[in-house]
Structure 1
């Protein structure tokens, strides 16, 4: 069934929220391993002791998350990793699907975009996307907080959509820009 209204899209966000709740445990485990310096491939002789901050970025469409660590100069000191480390593609309905957002949800939203002809299209789609990103970001913040509390590890960490000047400081949940982050490495 194709979404025909804002209510249908709201139901997709409820389904997405439930999906995120279902993967929270595995994702928290991934973050715990990162905070402990496990499962990270370090570059150029770097070690866990060289890591001064973690970066997490996500893609706009599929919400795939990548991670890397930086050293005291703000230079990449680890290989880039995709998170979660193990995706349950069978839950997404297609073993070839690589997006974090389940394919079924993504497809229904895409069908709405392709087929809805009402005058309120932009408003409805904006509301849907605003709520989807709010749910996604809040979920990430919650699992980050849980992983940090479980490990007792406090490190500089930033979360954002890919290729942006602004990021969320995961310790304060405040927006910070690249220039402000760079000052922390001086």
Structure 2
């Protein structure tokens, strides 16, 4: 469990380092910017934005539809890794650093046969969710405060 606690600390630090860019990416998307429109559509054609969250890799996918529900943009993956971290492979492109992913998977493979494994893994995942929620809520509140000041 100690290894999993360490991973949560690393994840929290990583989220703190990247939340400004994630918020900026979300703001651009909400403004209809930095997306590839299909069939000559523009941001004025947006009727709804859809977001999908991939929990395992922390990726956020988004796309827009028009008022009739037709998809009018390519799917955008927010804040993919723009550069590899130390010890990461060239093909790794998820938001979650590969080093955290590998350690978590290795830990899971070594311990999943234990009787209380499900409880341990559930607690780890719950802490991950709390880290994510806390990080994004804090970023949103800071952004909201800055807008009031401006």
TM-score bracket relative to the smaller structure: 0.7 to 0.9
Is 1:128 the counterpart of 2:127? The answer is no
- 1:133 positional shift: 2.5
The 10-residue stretch of structure 1 (133-142 or 80-89) with the greater mean CA deviation from structure 2: 133-142
Residues 1:79 and 2:68 aligned together:
no
| Mapping 1:20-59, distance limit 5 Å | 20-59=15-54
Indicate conservation of the 8 Å contact 2:62/2:75, yes or no: yes
Counterpart position of 2:95:
100
Unaligned runs of 5+ in 2: none
CA contact (8 A) 2:46 2:67 kept: yes
Distance across 2 between alignment mates of 1:28 and 1:133? 18
In the alignment, is the contact (CA less than 8 A) between 1:35 and 1:148 conserved in 2? no
More helix by share: 2
Alpha carbons 2:21, 2:79 under 8 Å: kept: yes
SS at match of 2:85: helix
Distance 1:47 1:84, change over 3 A: same
Structure 1 unaligned runs (5+)? Answer: 153-186
Distance (whole Å) between structure 2 residues aligned to residue 148 and residue 50 of structure 1: 26
Q: How far does residue 118 in structure 1 lie from its aligned partner after superposition?
A: 3.3
Structure 1 segment 86-165 matched on structure 2, within 5 A: 87-90=82-85, 93-116=88-111, 117-143=113-139
When normalised by structure 2's length, the TM-score is: 0.80
Q: Relative to 1, partners in 2 of residues 1:98 and 1:92: Cα closer, same or farther, differing over 3 Å?
A: farther
Q: Out of 58, 61, 66, which is 2:56 matched to?
A: 61
Aligned residue-pair number:
147
In the TM superposition, residue 143 of structure 1 has moved relative to its aligned partner by: 4.2
Q: Secondary structure at the match of 2:52?
A: strand
